[in-house]
């Protein structure tokens, strides 16, 4: 069964760092486009970042320079390294397999940035 399972969320103070993980099963992360999408409490969906099957990356302007998307082929896992976290980064973070847009989603991991 194809599945995505996120982990690594939690509470962190402003300015801190956190690394999210997304473990995939049933398919190969490195052969797919993989995205991160977030949703602030009570708000809409916001696309965050993508890593192409070829390894290229792209980021939303709101996170560029602070977040880094990567993958580990041996672990079949996607990551999102988040630095210089701000209160407005508070959100549920979803990883998703992407083909003509995200189509297979994990259950999400909650990140709360607060002092």
Partner 1 sequence: DIQMTQSPSSLSASVGDRVTITCRASQGIGNDLGWYQQIPGKAPKRLIYAASTLQSGVPSRFSGSGSGTEFTLTISSLQPEDFATYYCLQHNSYPLTFGGGTKVEIK
End-to-end CA distance of the chain: give it in Å, rounded: 40
Residue closer to partner 1, measured from CB, 79 or 93: 93
Alpha-carbon radius of gyration of the chain = 13
CB of residue 20 vs partner 1: minimum separation in angstroms?
15
Complex with partner 1: residue 61 or 115, whichever CB lies closer: 61
**Residue 73 in 3-state DSSP?**
coil
- 84, 67 contact by CB (below 8 A): no
Residue 12 CB, nearest distance to partner 1 (Å)? 22
Do you know the residue count of the chain?
A: 115
Task: Give the angle 108-87-57 at the CA atoms, nearest 5°.
Answer: 55
Min CB(37)–partner 1 separation in Å = 8
Which lies closer to partner 1 via its Cβ, residue 14 or residue 63? 63
Nearer to partner 1, 44 or 55 (CB): 44
Q: Where do contacts with partner 1 occur on this chain (CB under 8 A)?
A: 35, 37, 44-47, 50, 58-61, 94, 100-103, 105-108
């Amino acid at each position: 069964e194809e599945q995505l399972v996120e982990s690594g969320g939690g509470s962190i103070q402003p300015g801190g760092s956190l690394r999210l993980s997304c473990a995939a099963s049933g398919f190969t992360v490195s052969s797919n486009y993989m995205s991160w999408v977030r949703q602030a409490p009570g708000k809409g969906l916001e696309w965050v970042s993508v890593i192409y099957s070829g390894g290229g990356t792209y980021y939303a302007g709101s996170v560029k320079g602070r977040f880094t998307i990567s993958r580990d082929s041996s672990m079949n896992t996607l990551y999102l390294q988040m630095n210089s976290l701000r209160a407005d980064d508070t959100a549920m973070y979803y990883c998703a397999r992407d083909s003509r847009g995200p189509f297979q989603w994990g259950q999400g991991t909650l990140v709360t940035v607060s002092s």
